[in-house]
């Protein structure tokens, strides 16, 4: 039997405006194709050092234990949970979306006594609600999502951090969607364990999970009575590879680390404050355009993420048909709703390299066409005109 002949790999060109991954900067793609060296080669060890330095800047922390876990954002979540939790430990998990629910599942699998605090999808937690629970439960760890990708809700953390620390707990935060798009102030907010992903606002392909642990968290890990449940994610072992000893632990994904290093460099070259402002400006332009088309947001004003826009699908408009037409005719990917929001919302990503005026205007024009094809009436060109008017006023 002869072997089949396969054509060269030719992925389609997309505009990635979904919940992730985002578009990738050419410098990052070039880094992926650079010459591979060994995982203990002096050149790669220097790349690791530079990556750590830049991660601390992006996380805005001085934490020594800051590194990139070899795995996606979900591996970062597991790394934080399994290192802090021993069987029988109490953990409070805040669930107002899919990824809070996932954290609760991970915690239960690690043997935690999990107490779930809930809010409806799309809403956020008030510090007083968390205070009541942590004062009653006295947990070792409280887990919460800073930017809930499934709903588009932006959760403030500073006041919640205070109530968690008031009872001696550790605060674990999911910043998969927020890091590099809005401020993540690890030291100023006294966050104890934080994880993210490479593929959202950092605009690197998926495959690495930045994490950082505070001195309080490291002390907790060092006082463990039992081994970390995951050998691969055990920070007492992994930190020796990323630390001064450079002791072999696993073969790191060399070229993915190149790519993350370059993505962080691009981020810092732009400047964090400028990057945050860019995300906010394009969010507001998109919002103006969508309002002109008669489309509203699924999350309350004031807690909407700038990089992940969850909007209500207009009555009579078919969710799947619209997303399929955007992809097939215009090469634009957006995301559908999850959980109770499935079929009711679209998730429009403006993350990292994707967050550009040209993408905002392209999407609004394409969406108007899709809506019109389904008989949803809106003034011709209204969305693009409203977004352009916003940009014009911003630059006047």
Domains of the chain: 26-269 (3.40.640.10), 271-395 (3.90.1150.10)
Give the model confidence (pLDDT) of 260-300 as tens digits. 999 999 999 999 999 999 999 999 999 999 999 999 999 99
Beta strands 308-312; 332-333: pairing state: unpaired
Contact by Cβ (8 Å): 198, 205: yes
The pLDDT of residue 358 is: 98
The pLDDT of residue 264 is: 98
Beta strands 170-174; 193-195: pairing state: parallel
The pLDDT of residue 383 is: 97
CA dihedral 34, 40, 44, 45 (to 10 degrees): 170
| Between 355 and 245, residue with greater pLDDT | 355
- Residue carrying the six token digits 């934490």: 63
Beta strands 113-118; 332-333: pairing state: unpaired
Crossing angle of helices 215-222 and 235-242, in 10° steps, is 120
| Nearest-angstrom CA–CA distance, 66 and 56 | 7
| Among candidate residues 275, 263, 250, 266, the one with its CA nearest the CA of residue 198 | 263
The pLDDT of residue 242 is: 94
| Low-confidence winner among 5-9, 97-101, 145-149, 193-197 (lowest mean pLDDT) | 5-9
- Residue carrying the six token digits 């060296």: 37
Q: Is the pLDDT of residue 374 over 90?
A: yes
Give the model confidence (pLDDT) of 309-358 as tens digits. 999 999 999 999 999 999 999 999 999 999 999 999 999 999 999 999 99
Give the model confidence (pLDDT) of 100-144 as tens digits. 999 999 999 999 999 999 999 999 999 999 999 999 999 999 999
Q: Six-digit token pair at 30? A: 């070039």
Percent of the chain with pLDDT over 90: 95
Grade residue 1 by pLDDT with cuts at 50, 70 and 90: low
Contact by Cβ (8 Å): 210, 61: no
The pLDDT of residue 396 is: 65
| Among candidate residues 121, 129, 127, 140, the one with its CA nearest the CA of residue 81 | 140
Whole-prediction pTM value? Answer: 0.96
Mean pLDDT, range 354-379, rounded to an integer: 95
The pLDDT of residue 96 is: 97
Q: Name the helix (H) or strand (E) containing 91.
A: strand 90-95
Mean pLDDT, range 222-234, rounded to an integer: 97
| Nearest-angstrom CA–CA distance, 24 and 258 | 13
The pLDDT of residue 4 is: 76
| Nearest-angstrom CA–CA distance, 374 and 309 | 22
| Nearest-angstrom CA–CA distance, 178 and 15 | 20
User: Which region holds residue 91: left if phi is over 0, alpha if psi is between -120 and 50, else beta?
Assistant: beta
Grade residue 394 by pLDDT with cuts at 50, 70 and 90: confident
Give the model confidence (pLDDT) of 163-172 as tens digits. 999 999 999 9
């Amino acid at each position: 039997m002869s072997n089949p002949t396969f054509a060269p790999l030719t992925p389609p060109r997309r505009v990635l405006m979904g919940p992730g991954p985002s578009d990738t900067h050419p410098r990052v793609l070039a880094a992926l194709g650079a010459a591979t060296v060994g995982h203990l080669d002096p050149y790669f060890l220097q790349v690791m050092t530079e990556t750590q330095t830049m991660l601390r800047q992006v996380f805005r922390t001085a934490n020594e234990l800051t590194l990139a876990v070899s795995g996606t954002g979900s591996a970062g979540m597991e790394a934080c949970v399994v290192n802090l939790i021993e069987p029988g430990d109490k953990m409070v998990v805040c669930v107002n979306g899919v990824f809070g629910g996932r954290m609760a599942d991970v915690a239960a699998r690690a043997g935690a006594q999990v107490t779930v605090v809930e809010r409806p999808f799309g809403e956020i937690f008030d510090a007083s609600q968390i205070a009541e629970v942590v004062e009653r439960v006295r947990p070792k760890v409280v887990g919460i999502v800073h930017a809930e990708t499934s709903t588009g809700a932006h959760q403030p953390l500073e006041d919640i951090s205070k109530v968690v620390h008031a009872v001696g707990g550790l605060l674990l935060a999911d910043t998969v969607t927020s890091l590099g798009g809005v401020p993540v102030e690890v030291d100023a907010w006294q966050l104890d364990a934080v994880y993210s992903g490479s593929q959202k606002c950092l605009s690197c392909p998926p495959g690495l999970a930045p994490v950082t642990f505070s001195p309080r968290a490291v002390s907790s890990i060092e006082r463990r009575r039992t081994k970390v449940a995951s050998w691969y994610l055990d920070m007492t072992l992994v930190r020796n590879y990323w630390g001064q000893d450079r002791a072999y632990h696993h073969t790191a994904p060399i070229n993915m680390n190149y790519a993350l290093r370059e993505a962080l460099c691009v981020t810092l070259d732009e400047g964090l404050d400028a990057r945050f402002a860019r995300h906010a400006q394009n969010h507001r332009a998109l919002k103006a355009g969508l309002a002109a088309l008669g489309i509203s947001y699924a999350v309350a004003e004031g807690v909407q993420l700038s990089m992940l826009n969850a909007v209500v699908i207009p009555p009579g408009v078919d969710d799947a048909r619209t997303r399929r037409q955007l992809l097939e005719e215009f090469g634009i990917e957006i995301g559908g709703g999850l959980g109770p929001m499935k079929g009711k919302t679209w998730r429009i990503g403006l993350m990292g390299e994707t967050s550009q005026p040209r993408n905002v205007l392209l999407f609004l024009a394409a969406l108007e066409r899709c809506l019109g094809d389904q008989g949803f009436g809106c003034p011709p060109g209204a969305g693009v005109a409203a977004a352009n008017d916003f940009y014009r006023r911003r630059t006047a």
